[in-house]
Structure 1
Amino acid sequence: MNIGLQDVTSIVNYVCDSRAACSIFSLPFQFDYLKDLGNKFPNIVFSYVTYLHVKDNDPFRHEFFVRIVQSFPLLKYLQIYNVRSSLPVDAMTFSSDNCQLYSTIEYPHLTTLDLSCAHREYVEQFLNETKTYMPCLTELLVVLSDLIIVTKNFTRNETLRNCAKVKTLFNLPPRLHVEGLCDYFPSLYK
């Protein structure tokens, strides 16, 4: 048996006040699934990861999502678990539609986005095309009230493009009729 020396790295993430998640793995990382990734992770490319679950006690900022795109180039499924806003409560307005402070982040392979356990701010971050572009998004898990607020009752142009190809919208009550929903999600009804 020939066991050579391999590079290893670790990630420690405090996922809540009383629990930490520690991952130790050899490099290059060859798994397709990574869970409980937080704000702090090594500056390496996870070439095989297609499923990522991010969770942290601290809010995620724009720079975190830029690093996600750079470190996970083949990402297809992203689940965000973070109920903390990175903005003060009085700044949680969507009047910044025409104010671009950061470059747009593109997730070229992302097909499934789970925001069901995320603060409304992350729904804004991902659905607003001036902040994020997801050309392949076909499945969206989101709290309906957050979706309605962020899309301004399905009338907001900045969130329309990222919703247009969604074929499956989870967490909707059966036989829900909301004005503008079928225009906003035309692929749901094909």
Structure 2
Amino acid sequence: MTYLEKLTLCLRIQKVGRFVSGASLSIDDAHLHNEILVHMPQLHTFKFYISTETNAIYSNLRFSNDDIQQTFINMKYGQTACIMDYYGACGTLCHVYSLPFTFTHLHKITTHFPFIVFDTVTNLFVYDIFPFEHEFFMRINQTFPLLKCFTIENDRREHWNYDDNPSYSIIESTHLTSLEITHAGQYYVEQFLVKTNTLLPRLTRLKVEYNDLKTIATNFTREETRHNCSKVKQLIVEELIVFSKYVYQYFPSL
């Protein structure tokens, strides 16, 4: 790769205690240079997105966004940004990326993400041990305006009771075609399928736990959820089940 002039790098590392020597929980400029960039003397354009998910039990160190960004201060390929988060007793998530962000996928962000617009992201996976509430999804809709595929996972599904607040604005996700809510609980099914909460005019693929769907749709009779289900062509459930005629009536595009 001696003559390489442009490089786009997307790298995801999961359950790794350190990425080089020491107890680092993230990627830094030194590692990128010593292991990758030093072998590309002709390189003049470098775009990257590197995501690490690890276990803080390997280290007593805790870094902030500023700590990580300081390691890139001398990088000659432009500005960088970082999203650093800790969850539970030992979980660590770190996203480091060049600016402007040019990638289509962003994997496993929490409620702590920057107030910038990611106008290239079409696939997003959100995860947290704290509940996601309506305001969070409003921010998601504003921050990721071209979102097409959305996956929601939340470990504290039983700790959030849906607040049917009439002052909430209706979220309209005009580009969303695929929605996955399989490890989050029925409250998130309520959030996205009830038309007075969210409008999904292009939703064609839905992955959901069947019992949650059946409960929120009131055994496939509820009018408020029918609208967002009307164009779904692919309904995926983890349970082995034969859909009744009522399911097909409720999802007429299946």
TM-score category (smaller protein)? 0.7 to 0.9
Q: Secondary structure at the match of 2:195?
A: coil
Residues 147, 175 of structure 1: alpha-carbon distance in 2 compared, 3 angstrom cutoff: closer
1:14-72 deviations in Å (ceiling 9; x for gaps): 35442111001111100000011100101111111100000011111111101111111
Residues 165, 34 of structure 1: alpha-carbon distance in 2 compared, 3 angstrom cutoff: same
Q: Could you say which structure has the greater relative contact order, defined with CA pairs below 8 angstroms and 6 or more residues apart?
A: 1
Name the counterpart of 1:167.
233
| Amino acid paired to 2:187 | E
Q: Is the CA contact 1:15–1:36 (under 8 Å) kept in the aligned structure 2?
A: no
Aligned partner of 2:153 among 81, 88, 91: 81
Task: Tell whether 2:105 aligns with 1:33.
Answer: yes
Gaps of 5+ in 1: none
Q: Secondary structure at the match of 1:47?
A: coil
Q: Is the CA contact 1:123–1:147 (under 8 Å) kept in the aligned structure 2?
A: yes
| Amino acid paired to 2:132 | F
Provide the C-alpha distance between the structure 1 equivalents of 2:148 and 2:88, rounded to a whole number of angstroms: 26
- Identical residues among aligned pairs (%): 42
Aligned partner of 2:126 among 54, 57, 61: 54
Q: Is the CA contact 1:83–1:119 (under 8 Å) kept in the aligned structure 2?
A: no
Q: Is the CA contact 2:158–2:185 (under 8 Å) kept in the aligned structure 1?
A: no
Aligned partner of 1:134 among 169, 192, 200: 200
Say how many residue pairs are matched.
Answer: 182
Q: Is the CA contact 1:13–1:56 (under 8 Å) kept in the aligned structure 2?
A: no
Residues 186, 172 of structure 1: alpha-carbon distance in 2 compared, 3 angstrom cutoff: farther
Structure with greater Cα Rg: 2
Name the counterpart of 1:7.
79
Provide the C-alpha distance between the structure 1 equivalents of 2:242 and 2:84, rounded to a whole number of angstroms: 42
Q: Is the CA contact 1:115–1:141 (under 8 Å) kept in the aligned structure 2?
A: yes
Normalising by structure 2, report the TM-score.
0.66
Q: Is the CA contact 1:110–1:137 (under 8 Å) kept in the aligned structure 2?
A: yes
Gaps of 5+ in 2: 1-41, 46-75
